[in-house]
Amino acid sequence: MGGFVGILFSLVAIIVLLPIHSVGGTTRSYEFNIQLKNVTRLCHTKSMVTVNGKFPGPRIVAREGDRLLIKVTNHVPNNITIHWHGIRQLRSGWADGPAYITQCPIQTGQSYVYNYTVVGQRGTLFWHAHISWLRASLYGPLIILPKLNVPYPFTKPYKEVPIIFGEWFNTNPEGIIAQATQTGGGPNVSDAYTFNGLPGPLYNCSAEGIS
């Protein structure tokens, strides 16, 4: 009996230590370069922290069971982390992104590779910065398709158009939260709500000088 229990324990230990890999999953690699870029909205131009110079940031597309390797390189003075909102981090908690909780922030000139596998999930999620108020400009869609040859739970869409909601601040969001922290009051509201980074037509100067 003792020998059987020992063998069983060894097998369980081996299974627990095995990495999570989905059969047929693909490894997908992305490069996120955190950089400053001048962006104009509502006739206000300001230098913003962006991913690859885009606002909102780039779209990540994967299939259920895929492994994602996202290399984030910080070219700005701010410390950076990225959170993959809604992703179940199964034994990959170090890839979750909350600053000072699951990782130290990525400092200027440094890189970090987020490494995780999408397990048992499909749908439209999003990623965003998870330090200070940098999520005001560092965010983008994260789309998880079904596995190959696995049908949608509804009629396959003819076309997919991701829409991501956000906010635009004419001033630096970091200054807004700093002021709120100093006064003890709530932060000032944004100057516009955005769809895919653009304000709607009801705002003054909403379509002029967009860059």
Structure tokens at 18: 């095995």
Tell me what pLDDT residue 209 has.
66
Tell me what pLDDT residue 62 has.
97
Question: From the first residue on, what is the mean pLDDT of each consecutive set of 10 residues in the chain (211 residues)?
Answer: 43 37 78 97 94 97 97 98 96 95 97 97 95 93 93 84 94 86 86 94 80 72
Tell me what pLDDT residue 3 has.
53
* DSSP helix/strand/coil, 92: coil
Measured between alpha carbons, how far is 140 from 7 in angstroms, rounded to an integer? 48
Whether this prediction's pTM lies above 0.85 is answered by no
Tell me what pLDDT residue 19 has.
41
Tell me what pLDDT residue 168 has.
95
Which of 1.20.1090.10, 2.30.30.30, 2.60.40.420, 3.30.200.20 is the CATH number of 21-148? 2.60.40.420
> Which residue ranges make up each domain of the chain?
21-148
For 174-204, b/e burial (b = at least 16 CB within 10 A) is: eebeeeeeeeeeeeeebbbebeebbbeeebe
